[in-house]
Chains A and B, each alone.
Chain A
């Protein structure tokens, strides 16, 4: 009998300078972006074609209230759009070729080009997710600092409990309850869409804030913010929970340190000490959370946009799936994947700005 293989000894950690480590990690992540994009595109391809159940059959509308003729027609169109008669590798090649040249095809309904649909929808999603991140940071920093300063009291316990619970709250239930409470019962805020239909809005870029400046119509800004508050807060709660915990921990970490005592002895007000000395420590972990949680935020935007009838990529995706509008589903999924990769890249850049060690190196 041969000797049994024993557990491999892991090589002892070789200490390297921190700067080299971070730079190397940064470099690898930059190299990784095209790789991740490619992987995501492949994932979308696989999801659409290789899974059980013929995509043409399910996309063409089995089980929905379409007539048999319509289903057959959709099936033919889907089959043509997919190039299903080709061998799989050829299909994959054509798919990648189309992607590189930004050929996303046309919607089955109303023959809009998918690119123009995305052009209409992307700004909405970008506005919503950016607003949600802003709300999450504001909410998370304030509650985190308060919890840390009142450590051990009921305020601290409650904040931590709420933060933990908020990680997994279902967005749709949160959203509709917010709609009922603030829109129907209290009537404080509008609950549907991006802007009231009474406003005569002709988009140039479809970014409302940008258009308000370009078209010199600042009366758009107020209603725009009002329409953003509920969906953005709904979306932000889970991320805010993470930020609360991180801010609380990092504030507690430095609160007893010498430099904080020095700052207080200089006669700085408590709020200045917190803002300029203590919170500095929290920014890097906060940015990390923003990057890590952005994926789930995008996923949440799919549901939140539907709940609030908010015109964005998520709603486009859901409608595409429900109408079996194959090119729209593919385009929207890819747009969300692209957004995801770009934000992660932006987070890497933010690291460089926030952490002088990386900048110097």
Chain B
């Protein structure tokens, strides 16, 4: 995945290459008018245009799992945003036609035990999961990067205290922490976001501290401080942009964990409460009908798995693109 051998049109072309003896491959590609290096029939540079070529130059979507994952992720987000508007069936309304199989007229994916349309429930169910995953990841990023920046920049006692707390939180089973938080605050979307966000922050804090400590020792930071820049400004305008690449990649990885946690807690009945459709809760409800209608379990579970895996590949792809030296 991280071999970085994606073709690189427009960048890797030199005169020496253009003058190289023509091989069979070059002849074949000459028939197409251009070859993989983006040279045309006469060996001149030919810039490929369009959004896809732009992505390529950024180094995004270099392997096929990464491409598939990007497409899937974008599709899921689009479905979550627009899907409920396009689908007329009500995900909550119960009807008398319960447990219809796949491909029933009017119910493409059938209905569940209460006669609710499965397709509508899956489409509507993407929303809470995505919302919790994105919101809790954002919360984790704010807390984690804030703490990490401060610890890495300040050093000394501040760093020691903050990082010992982070170590303790990292060692403790984070899902247990979330369960306790949710148990104390009562189940629901808000406590789910806070619980997942807080429990995932330490991992990001550790990386942010390491990166910030490295930057702090550099000359440009010393220069900024000598120039009288205030600490918050140094942190946000000098250090943050310089650690953003690896941090973004790590945050996307965190998104996949957050999605898994959120769905898992909903599965346990501690997250999004029925009747709001949600993939995690749908799996739990469907487990009653494992033998008669395994689709009620398989569809939401598989979608959750695919979403998490896609986040993973996309995070990995972003890491290759944004952090080629592999510091994260």
Contact = CB atoms under 8 A, between A and B. Distances in A.
Interface of A: 4, 6-8, 10, 36, 39-40, 43-44, 47-49, 51-53, 55, 57-59, 62-63, 157, 160-161, 164-165, 167-174, 176-177, 179-180, 183-185, 191, 295-296, 298-300, 302-303, 306-307, 317-318, 321-322, 329, 333, 336-337, 340, 344
Contacts of A48: 180, 183-184
Interface stretch (B9-17, B256-264, B320-328): B256-264
B186 A164 contact: no
Contact of B269 (A179, A184, A322): A322
Contacts, number: 173
A257 to B, nearest CB: 25
Contact of A306 (B172, B221, B268): B268
Nearest to B228: A4
Contact of B172 (A43, A302, A317): A43
Given A48-B180, A63-B186, A176-B287, A7 B312 contact: no
A180 B65 CA distance: 26
A25 B298 CA distance: 47
A295 B155 CA distance: 28
Contact of B305 (A160, A177, A337): A177
Contacts of A44: 180
B168 interface: yes
Contacts of A10: 155
Which of B155, B175, B304, B313 lies at the interface centre, i.e. has the most chain A CB atoms within 10 A of its CB? Answer: B175
Interface stretch (B25-33, B37-45, B289-297): B289-297
What bracket does the count of chain B residues touching chain A fall in? Answer: 35 or more
Given A176-B283, A340-B173, 9 more contacts: A6-B225, A7-B155, A51-B181, A52-B185, A170-B259, A170-B261, A184-B291, A302-B173, A318-B268
**B interface: dominant SS:** helix
Contacts of A295: 171-174
Contacts of B187: 63
Interface of B: 1, 3, 65, 155-156, 168, 171-177, 179-187, 216-217, 221-222, 225-226, 228, 253, 256-257, 259-261, 263-264, 267-270, 273, 280, 283, 287, 290-291, 294, 297-298, 301-302, 304-305, 308-309, 311-313, 316
B225 A165 contact: no
A10 B217 CA distance: 10
B176 A333 contact: yes
